[in-house]
C-alpha cells in the first residue's frame, strides 16, 4: 500500500477524533483545539478536514441524536477507523524514532 501522508492539521483532527470518541463532532473538535492548543481555528477548516479524512477512509461518521441547543439539528459523530488508527500509530512511531536520533542535551 502506498503510504498516505497527513498534514499537520489533519493529524491533529484525526487524533482528536480518536480521543473524543462519542463526542467527536465538528464544533467539539474546534473547541478542543481552541482550548487545549490555544490556537484560533475556523469551523470551516475543521469541517473540510473531517470530510477529507472521511474520503481517505481514516474516519467514518454517523448521525447522533438531536439536542435542543443546536436548533434541533443532529450532530454528525465521527469515529476513527482501524486504518485511521494504524496511520496514527505509524506516524507516532516514526516520530519517536526520529526523536531518538536527535542528540540530547547532556548536563556534564
Residue in the structure block whose three cell numbers are 503510504: 3
Q: Measured between alpha carbons, how far is 5 from 104 in angstroms, rounded to an integer?
A: 28
* Residue among 61 and 81 whose Cβ is closer to other proteins: 61
Instruction: For residue 20, give the H/E element and its range.
Output: helix 8-20
Nearest approach, Cβ of 80 to other proteins (angstroms)? 18
Residue among 94, 7, 2, 89 nearest 53 (CA): 7
CB nearer to other proteins: give 26 or 85: 26
Q: Minimum CB separation from other proteins for residue 53, in Å?
A: 12
**Quick one: 52 or 56, whose CB is closer to other proteins?**
52
Say how far apart CA 72 and CA 11 lie, in whole Å.
31
**Binding region for other proteins (CB under 8 A):** 25-27, 30, 42-44, 47-48, 51-52, 69-71, 73-76
CB of 93 to other proteins, least distance (A): 30
Amino acid at each position: 500500500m502506498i503510504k498516505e501522508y497527513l498534514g499537520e492539521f489533519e493529524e491533529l483532527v484525526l487524533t482528536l477524533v480518536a480521543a473524543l470518541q462519542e463526542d467527536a463532532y465538528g464544533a467539539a473538535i474546534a473547541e478542543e483545539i481552541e482550548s487545549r492548543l490555544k490556537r484560533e481555528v475556523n469551523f470551516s477548516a475543521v469541517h473540510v478536514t473531517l470530510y477529507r479524512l472521511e474520503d481517505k477512509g481514516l474516519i467514518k461518521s454517523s448521525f447522533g441524536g438531536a439536542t435542543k441547543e443546536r436548533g434541533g439539528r443532529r450532530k454528525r459523530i465521527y469515529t476513527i477507523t482501524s486504518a485511521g488508527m494504524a496511520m496514527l500509530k505509524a506516524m507516532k512511531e516514526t516520530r519517536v524514532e526520529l526523536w531518538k536520533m536527535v542528540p540530547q542535551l547532556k548536563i556534564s
